[in-house]
């Protein structure tokens, strides 16, 4: 089983078609999330805030109640158990895409 790079878990190349808001630091990303809504994800040493369509393109349900439980923030989730469930779902999707 191939190890999944956790710094890239929440992004994939086909998301380039979406206009995501990118940030070099968490505080700026969090401020954008708080003021404009969306979902906040880490990617390597950066952060991006996106719309629900991006979550769907990741193969996940943007209406999953766990998103609300974590505050729609995968960088600093508010609920560890809800985040664990979301992370496991995303890892399954990545593994399936890798043919595992």
The string of pLDDT tens digits covering residues 18-44 is 999 999 999 999 999 999 999 999 999
Total domains present in the chain: 1
Closest residue by Cα to residue 67 from 21, 33, 31, 19: 33
Nearest to 73 by CA among 35, 36, 46, 47: 47
- Cα-based distances in Å from 74 to 2, 53, 56: 22, 16, 15
Q: What is the pTM of this model?
A: 0.93
* Mean pLDDT within 85-93: 96
pLDDT score of 1: 58
Position 1 in a domain? no
More confident residue, 85 or 8: 85
For 59-68, write each residue's pLDDT tens digit: 999 999 999 9
Residue 21 host element (H or E): strand 21-23
Q: Helices marked H in the chain — which ranges?
A: 26-36, 52-57, 65-69, 80-97
Asked if residue 10 lies in contact with residue 43, where contact means CB atoms within 8 angstroms, the answer is yes
pLDDT, residue 78, reads 96
Q: Look at residue 84 and tell me if it is in a domain.
A: yes
Domain range for 21: 6-97
pLDDT value of position 100: 74
């Amino acid at each position: 089983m191939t190890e999944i790079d956790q710094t890239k878990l929440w992004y994939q190349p086909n998301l380039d078609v979406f206009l995501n808001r990118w940030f070099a630091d968490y505080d700026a990303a969090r401020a954008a999330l708080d003021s404009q809504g969306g979902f906040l994800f880490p990617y390597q040493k950066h952060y991006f805030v996106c719309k629900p369509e991006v979550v769907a393109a990741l193969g996940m349900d943007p209406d999953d109640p766990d998103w609300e439980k974590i505050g729609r923030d995968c960088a600093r989730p508010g609920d560890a158990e809800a985040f664990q469930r979301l992370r496991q779902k995303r890892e399954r999707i990545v593994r399936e895409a890798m043919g595992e």
